[in-house]
Amino acid sequence: MNYLRRIDWIMRSYNVAVVGATGAVGNEMISILEERNFPVKTLTLLASERSLGKELEFRGKKHPVKVLGEHSFEGVEIGLFSAGGSISQKFAPIAAAAGCVVIDNTSAFRYEPDIPLVIPEVNPEKIAEYRRRGIIANPNCSTIQMVVVLKPIHDVARIKRVVVSTYQSVSGTGKKAMEELAEQTRAIMNFQDPVAKVYPYQIAFNCLPHIDVFLENGYTKEEMKMVWETQKIMGDDSIAVTATTIRVPVFRAHSESVNIETEKKITAKEAKEVLSRAPGIVVVDNPGKREYPLAIHAVGKDETFVGRIREDTSIVNGLNLWIVSDNLRKGAALNAVQIAEILFRDYLK
């Protein structure tokens, strides 16, 4: 037996379930588990009755998709959930009661005080709190890529206020939305009327200032997720955050224009140095050579890309940043698998 195979053999492996396995995030979960050689003993793929009979490939072998039910979690040790909030609301506690640690990608539990909300580069120590309810929440895609970049700046200059506008791709809504953008684009190019089913208006060749539901304060829930989650993950409710979240006709990877005000002065040059050393971040900032982060370059990548780093000339201590990342990877599936990796390395024996 060679050395690497021997390590594999000695390492404990886990019974893993992916809930929402046929979806945009679920699909990416399966690929990432394989790519990162996650120690999977058995993989249970779960979805709705609509997927009965489907098979998905993992490590060169076809796995049947099973219908999610109350008995799906017997013997399962790690459950990666991405089938929507109401599914998590119902089935995450059932899975946890069966002894499965749930890593939940939905907003169902994120704001509950006894549920840890984790980005491994920012607050990995919070994973220990999985013991309270057996559930760890994965933040929203737009929050993750922003906070990965904010944290190293916060550590040196303390962030007082954040103003963010997002340019979010349709893959954040799921598979059907990706099909809708493709179909509407095709229709319009063929002089036909586009049909809107997933979004309230045409998304092709358009921008929608509406993601998730509108709340009483006039913001959308997606916008408030960025406020609540940033404060919870950074462990600092005094950071003021205001967000405008926009759906744009991009298939994959979210972009964000982020303006921050800091307590201590940090120059653009210092910010670039700090960010260059930070985990999970690649600085792409060479305007003279037309080098800046682009959604099309971030697709399929694990890192969060930051560029257009410049001082805000309208205030004393301010910076502007352009942040881009693959929403299905770092924004969802990769962050969840990274949490699972820390979980088995440090906690599950």
String of contacts with ligand 3JM for each residue 219-238, x by CB under 6 A: ------x-------------
Applying CB under 6 A, among 15, 31, 48, 165 the residue interacting with ligand NAP is 48
Check binding of 172 to ligand 3JM (CB under 6 A): yes
Site string for ligand 3JM, 308-337 (x = CB under 6 A): ------------------------------
- CA 226, chain centre distance (Å): 12
Residue 264 in the binding site for ligand NAP (CB under 6 A): no
* Residue 293: contacted member of ligand 3JM, ligand NAP, none (CB under 5 to 8 Å, by partner type): none
* Residue 141 falls in the annotated catalytic set: yes
What binding mask, one character per residue, do residues 62-81 give for ligand NAP by CB under 6 A, x or -?
A: ------x-------------
83 binds, among ligand NAP, ligand 3JM, none (CB under 5 to 8 A by kind): ligand NAP
Residues 44-63 that bind ligand 3JM (CB under 6 A): none
- Contact between 301 and 326 (Cβ < 8 Å): yes
Which span sits near ligand 3JM by CB under 6 A: 79-87, 195-203, 292-300, 306-314? 79-87
Residue nearest to ligand NAP (CB): 23
Confirm or reject binding of residue 245 to ligand 3JM (CB under 6 A).
Answer: no
User: Considering only 6-14, 84-92, 94-102, 275-283, which stretch makes contact with ligand 3JM by CB under 6 A?
Assistant: 84-92
Shortest gap between Cβ of 7 and ligand NAP (angstroms)? 31
Q: Is residue 107 within the footprint of ligand 3JM (CB under 6 A)?
A: yes
Instruction: Catalytic residue, from 63, 100, 141, 154: name it.
Output: 141
8 A C-beta contact, residue 57 and residue 35: no
Binding site for ligand NAP (CB under 6 A): 20-26, 47-48, 50-51, 68, 82-85, 87, 105-106, 138, 140-141, 172, 174-176, 331-332
- Interface ranges with ligand 3JM (CB under 6 A): 84-86, 106-107, 140, 172, 225
List, by residue number, the catalytic residues: 141, 254
